Structure 1
Amino acid sequence: MTKTSRFNYIKRGLVGVCAATMLTGLCAGTAFGATVTPGVNNGAIGADNTASTVVSAQVDGQLSATVPTSLTVAVKSDDGSLVFPEDKKLYIENTSSAYAVHVVSIEATTGTLLNAESAYPSSSAANAAWLKIGTTAADQDLSTKLTVADSNWDVPSSGKLNLKFAGAVKNVSSFDSFTLTTLTWTIGGGLYPAV
């Protein structure tokens, strides 16, 4: 009768674990690969001994961009105008090196009800505010959903789009910080207009 030492059992166990790990590594697919699968179709050459090959590119539909996720502004005590961070600190960044993106829409979804700048002086509501945004000047009103209809909101691959803000608030209800608004961004793939 052969005596098996504890060490032999440990060795067998280790070999089994190593084999299982190797098989898992060989059989596992990539976790973050592209969702597009390349393919090819073959066809016969025509009667004139020529043929054409249509080469199509399918882009993985994952957009990769960043937008400002929080923005703290100061309120001037003399006129209620909002002071935003300096230029070039507010931007949208396209973190993809393969394709461009563009802003489709921006909407103020929660917080203070924003007024159009022209209606702001007559508003008596608490925390009455107006807010505008733009890329070269803050000239787009955010009191209603802004649907972008020009190429000024394109962000090239690996590029940044600087943002400009302007606004004011009055009848402030608190001397603590409060949520003025939350902006919801919709980003689309490609340059405007999206193809």
Structure 2
Amino acid sequence: MSMVAVAVGVGTAANMYAANKSASAAKEAGRNATAESARQYNQTREDMMPWLEAGGWALDRQQQLLQGDYSRFFESPDYKAALQLGTEALDAGATAQGNLWGGGADADRIKFGQQLASQNLGNYWNRLAGLSQTGQSTANQLGGFGQTYANNVAQNQWGVASARASAYGQMADSFNSGINDFMGYYGYKKGYGA
């Protein structure tokens, strides 16, 4: 075999090798980009979980209230503190008047408790609503981040597929070019081309 045929064969093989290396590099870059997108999404999700969990907790408390369960409200620290301070103030006033255990003092305590519960229930609900809305907003943001992540993965996969297809095309072109060059040289050598 002549040196020209060897050169054509080596050139064809080198082109095919380079195209394959290019496709492998694109595939690795696509994997790395996908891994980084996954890492960032997972970190963002982890960072946002406290808000999502707080929103779920608050929504659960709101649902309990709507079902008629006020136990969590009556156990809330702000309600308990306001009830205690208000009752102590009423007791102090009734004691000063010498009527701590009289009917009027009891009526005052009942009226105070009802008004306090009515007033604080709205505040309690609003605080829960704020937290549950924060959770909902966080869930919406995570959904958006998830969609972005999915789009990035799809884009990376399309990029890898495109690079792979391009490399296959380059390999085919190199092979065909090598065959044409060899055949041209072979034909020239036999006197067909002259």
Asked if Structure 1 and Structure 2 have the same fold, meaning a TM-score greater than 0.5 normalized by the shorter chain, the answer is no
Q: Work out which of the two has the higher radius of gyration on C-alpha atoms and give 1 or 2.
A: 2
Which structure's residues are more often strand, by fraction? Answer: 1
